[in-house]
Amino acid sequence: MSDERPFKGSGGSLRAQIYEDIRDRIHRGALGANDRLVDVEIAGNLGVSRMPVREALLQLTHEGYLVGTTRGFMLPTLTPTDVANIFEVRRCLEPRAAAHAARTLDTAGMERLAAALKDAEEAVATADAELLFQANVRFRRSWLEAVDNDRLASAIARFADHVQVVRLGTLTHQPTQAVVLAGMRRLYDAFANRDSMAAFDHMTTFIQHAEERFVALTKALESAGDEGRRPQG
């Protein structure tokens, strides 16, 4: 890890801090598909013992954020079935949660949504995939904070994060950027109007479009890779 910061505390509190730090890096897309997290290296960089680091990594593995390998921990490689299952769970959870958020979002929450949407609009105008990625993450966090059911909000965040590793790659595709921005605008309008039914419907459509773009672009990238590996002449 290149951006570790010193942690204070011991035992469970230290493990929790390390867990949150690594999970936040996954949220932000700061971990690449080939990055490996080694407990001894992380502990040395942080100046802490190996045990709380390993416990944090094992918890993230149990929750599906990471997988263990013989050379450390890394982000999982998702199969088409994995992706389909993740989006199915999201379709079951997120529309209902968005409908709830439409009723409970306060002024501060709406201001955070507006700021994230503004950044998303700027990102699409300048074809800035990284900015759009971060704006999308902040937009989701903002409305999830209005969901009173902590377990539901945590489950939604976790399953959304499971496809985070390749989402940044798909957002470099400008037609996909336009689809994402349109979905964010519709959701924002539903939240602003306190329209639970519209929030439910728009979130359902948003997830459906996300899956379609995700699958289509993943196949395109795989095809491009196959072409590159094909013998020439």
> How many CA atoms, within 13 angstroms, populate the side-chain half-sphere of residue 100?
14
Take residue 27 and report the two structure tokens written for it. Answer: 């949220």
Specify the residue for token string 């595709």: 173
Q: What average pLDDT does this structure show over 83-87?
A: 90
Cβ atoms 120, 136 nearer than 8 A: yes
Query: How many DSSP H helices and E strands does the chain contain?
Result: 10, 2
217 — pLDDT class (breaks 50, 70, 90): confident
Take residue 187 and report the two structure tokens written for it. Answer: 């959701």
Q: What's the pLDDT at 233?
A: 46
Query: 103-134, pLDDT tens digit by residue?
Result: 999 999 999 999 999 999 999 999 999 899 99
Q: Class assignment of domain 80-229? A: mainly alpha
Question: Structural domain boundaries of the chain?
Answer: 11-74, 80-229
Specify the residue for token string 């539901």: 152
Pick the CATH number of 11-74 from 3.30.70.580, 3.30.1330.10, 1.10.10.10, 3.40.50.300: 1.10.10.10
185 — pLDDT class (breaks 50, 70, 90): very high
Q: What average pLDDT does this structure show over 139-153?
A: 96
Q: Is the pLDDT of residue 166 over 70?
A: no
Q: How many Cβ atoms sit within 10 Å of the Cβ of residue 75?
A: 21
Specify the residue for token string 């379609």: 212
Distance from C-alpha of 159 to C-alpha of 220, rounded to nearest angstrom: 23
Distance from C-alpha of 136 to C-alpha of 184, rounded to nearest angstrom: 8
Distance from C-alpha of 56 to C-alpha of 28, rounded to nearest angstrom: 18
Q: What percentage of the chain exceeds 70 in pLDDT? A: 86
Q: How many Cβ atoms sit within 10 Å of the Cβ of residue 222?
A: 10
Q: What's the pLDDT at 138?
A: 95
Q: What's the pLDDT at 105?
A: 98
H or E segment to which residue 159 belongs: helix 150-161
3-class SS of residue 67: strand
The contacts of residue 225 (CB under 8 Å, 6+ apart) are none
Distance from C-alpha of 38 to C-alpha of 57, rounded to nearest angstrom: 9
Type of residue numbered 72: G
Query: 46-59, pLDDT tens digit by residue?
Result: 999 999 999 999 99
Q: What's the pLDDT at 116?
A: 98
88 — pLDDT class (breaks 50, 70, 90): very high
34 — pLDDT class (breaks 50, 70, 90): confident
Q: Is the pLDDT of residue 30 over 50?
A: yes
